[in-house]
């Protein structure tokens, strides 16, 4: 059973109550030496010595790591902020949601470039990066830009809150096939 777009948004917003950091290849793991080393081996060009040293400094400080697509997948896979679980409570490929990159996620969404029709809970996309539209010109995304972690940013494609310190122009948006939007257009 898929979650509703409202549930999806609430679960995404719940991550803001935690310390988060952007780490390529993660979907909610507590930051540990083991996960840093595993991901550095998997993505050596991204995990520079400087980046690894920064991440090592977060060990033991109750940080959870997400990349952009990993935030979306982690929530859909059941992430619940449990520091005792390897993936913060997420179960890899749970709930019929495959492991997809940012570009593969948007491809599954029957994407549109018409942002006058974007609805809360939709994925927003630029090449290689995704977030989730919250409504009222706001997006939740995990990025190394600005606050380096899960954060709310502006969707510059629509009327947005000028108080938001950061934002992007997104290229496409679309409804995830794993979320029930209740017929909303």
- Chain segment 112-163, per-residue pLDDT in tens: 999 999 999 999 999 999 999 999 999 999 999 999 999 999 999 998 778 8
Domain with 12 in it: 3-92
Give the domain-ending residue among 92, 123, 156: 92
Of 134, 146, 13, 131, the C-alpha closest to 67 is: 131
Q: Is residue 183 part of a domain?
A: no
Q: Are residues 33 and 65 in the same domain?
A: yes
Task: Give the model confidence (pLDDT) of 4-57 as tens digits.
Answer: 999 999 999 999 999 999 999 999 999 999 999 999 999 999 999 999 999 999
Residues with Cβ < 8 Å from 184, sequence gap 6 or more? 5, 119
Q: Is residue 97 part of a domain?
A: no
How far apart CA 178 and CA 2 sit, in angstroms, is 6
Q: Is residue 125 part of a domain?
A: yes
How high is the pLDDT of residue 185? 54
Sign of the CA dihedral with 173 first, then 177, 178, and 184 last = positive
Q: Is residue 184 part of a domain?
A: no
How high is the pLDDT of residue 184? 60
Q: Is residue 185 part of a domain?
A: no
Q: Taking residues 52-63, what's their average pLDDT?
A: 98
Sign of the CA dihedral with 153 first, then 48, 72, and 177 last = positive
Give the domain-ending residue among 92, 112, 141: 92
Beta carbons within 10 angstroms of residue 120's beta carbon: 16
Q: How many structural domains is the chain composed of?
A: 2
Q: Is residue 10 part of a domain?
A: yes
Q: Is residue 159 part of a domain?
A: yes
Place of tokens 């609805």: 119
How far apart CA 72 and CA 13 sit, in angstroms, is 11
How much is the pTM? Answer: 0.96
Q: Is residue 112 part of a domain?
A: yes
Q: Are residues 65 and 87 in the same domain?
A: yes
How high is the pLDDT of residue 1? 54
């Amino acid at each position: 059973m898929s979650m509703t777009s409202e549930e999806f948004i609430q679960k995404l917003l719940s991550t803001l109550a935690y310390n988060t950091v952007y780490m390529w290849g993660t979907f909610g793991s507590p930051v540990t030496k083991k996960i840093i080393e595993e991901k550095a081996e998997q993505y050596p060009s991204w995990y520079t010595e400087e980046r690894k040293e920064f991440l090592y400094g977060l060990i033991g400080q109750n940080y959870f790591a997400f990349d952009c697509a990993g935030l979306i997948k982690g929530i859909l896979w059941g992430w619940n902020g449990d520091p005792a679980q390897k993936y913060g409570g997420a179960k890899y490929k749970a709930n019929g949601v495959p492991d997809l990159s940012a570009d593969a996620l948007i491809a599954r969404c029957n994407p549109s470039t018409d942002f006058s029709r974007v609805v809360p809970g939709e994925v927003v996309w630029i090449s290689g990066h995704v977030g989730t539209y919250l409504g009222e010109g706001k997006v939740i995304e995990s990025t190394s830009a600005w606050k380096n972690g899960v954060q709310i940013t502006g969707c510059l494609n629509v009327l947005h809150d000028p108080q938001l310190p950061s934002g992007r122009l997104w290229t496409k948006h679309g409804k995830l096939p794993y979320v029930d939007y209740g017929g909303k257009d």
